[in-house]
Amino acid sequence: MSNVAQHTLAGPATLQGTSLHTGEKVSLTLKPAPEGHGLKFRRIDLPDMPFIPADVDKVQTVERATTLAEGSVKVHTVEHVISALAGMGVDNAIIEMDANEPPIGDGSSRPFVELIRKAGTVAQNAPKRIWEIREPIHMEVGDGTLITIVPSKTFRVSVTNVGPEGRFTQYFSAEINPTVYEKEICAARTFVYYEDVKPLLDKGLIKGGSLESAIVIRGNEVMSKEALRFTNEFARHKALDLIGDLMLAGVRILGHVMAVKPGHGPNTKMAATIKAEYARMRSMVPAPISIPNGEGVLDIHAVLKILPHRYPFLMVDRIIGFEGENKCLGVKNVTINEPYFPGHFPGHPIMPGVLQLEAMAQVSSVLMLRKPENLGKIGYFMSADGVKWRRPVLPGDTLVIESEIIKMRGSIGQTRNRCLVNGEVASEAELKFALLDR
């Protein structure tokens, strides 16, 4: 997270042009959006004017461009406008279009940067969502593509472009902020290899394409209406695409992104990885637990009267509810001060699985000893079956322990148990006990 404010547009601004694939005229309008809204496309040419979030979960295809879909509604070639908004620091915006893709312009994101400048930007009251990468994230694709993100206090992109047979190998690296993006990146144009697009041209599938909207490479010849804008223009455009595709993760990052031979497919896979890792990291923050009121709640003092366990072996802080006579819910707040952390994976503290098993056993004991006929007894472990550990339990997690009696015969009881963190199963087991007099 960050104290830097979210930004949106100061007002609407409209751009008209030609779409790449259909060659049709399209009007695109950027509009302000509230805090936390994110970037969303809106197809105003369709009934109900549906929205499509700029979210990696909505990515449908990544062949030569990034396509988003919400049901049957699609928007194509979204990476340039998203890149411009991300590069210029805009977090929340509505992108209205009266067709299924933005104007292609000159093949760069400069027209969208100029549109953002025309609209203006304003700070909002909420902080930006910025995730500082603490451990490297690496991805490798069979065709030689590599994307690695390493820790950095800034957002930096380093790109190596490698064309077929090693043609036009170029490198570009820069720390990304609105000034650098506008000056060094947004003007870099789309480039294509003639052998890749000729079949599409023959089929009439790129009706809006021309030497004014892309650079065409034929052999070692660069075909363009104007000279290259940078000696490494291809690497800069790859950086432009990468910035747009990574924004689909829904969170900005502080980290150094190093990409060799990037493309929309690998870029969006990395965006999905960032989104998943960010969600996993946030899940370590315990969600608020609603403690039920009434006689079903047992605080630590009541728990101590039932169980014989004491520090450091007491694994239940509170019983937060009973469901009938056969189900019970307990809580253990896992803190960095637990006595086992200094010796269990020092530097990478994880709650031992056997202690999660012990927590399940203790909640099971509370459940069984609650029965009138078992008052004053003590539960002894007999066996554990179907034991599974699903995910690590870390300092700061709140462990919710579920226990259910599945069999009770005389002094022998059997329970089904789960430990959960934020609704996600961390471990599970079926336990058998003997209840004996103290």
Known catalytic membership, residue 264: yes
Helices (H) and strands (E) in the chain, counts: 8, 25
Residue 39: both structure tokens together: 């970037």
CA angle 57, 398, 429 (to 5 degrees): 90
Strands 412-421 and 25-32 come out as unpaired
Concerning whether 7 is annotated as a catalytic residue, the answer is: no
CA dist 321 → 290, 331, 370, 425 (Å): 10, 10, 12, 19
CA separation (Å) from 325 to 172, 236, 315, 363, 401?
A: 67, 66, 22, 13, 16
253: helix, strand or coil: strand
Out of 7, 264, 309, 348, pick the active-site residue.
Answer: 264
Q: For residue 150, list its beta bridge partners.
A: 256
Q: Say if residue 125 is exposed, middle or buried (CB neighbours under 10 Å; 0-12, 13-18, 19+).
A: exposed
Asked if 53 contacts 40 with a C-beta cutoff of 8 angstroms, the reply is: yes
Token digits for 174? 């820069």
Q: 438 CB contacts (<8 Å, ≥6 apart)?
A: 308, 376, 377, 378
Residues with Cβ within 8 Å of 429's Cβ and at least 6 positions away in sequence, in order, are 357, 360, 384, 385, 386, 387, 388, 417
Contacts of 178 (CB under 8 A, 6+ apart): 87, 88, 89
Print burial letters for 202-214: b (CB count within 10 Å at least 16), e (below 16). eeeebebbeeebb
Give the strand pairing for 215-218 and 191-193.
parallel
DSSP 70-110: ETTEEE---HHHHHHHHHTT--BEEEEESSSS-B-TTSSSH
Cβ atoms of residues 89 and 7 within 8 Å:
yes
Q: What is the DSSP letter of 220?
A: T
Q: How many whole angstroms separate alpha carbon 318 and alpha carbon 332? A: 7
Q: Hey, what are 432's tokens?
A: 């058998």
Q: Which residues are catalytic?
A: 264, 344
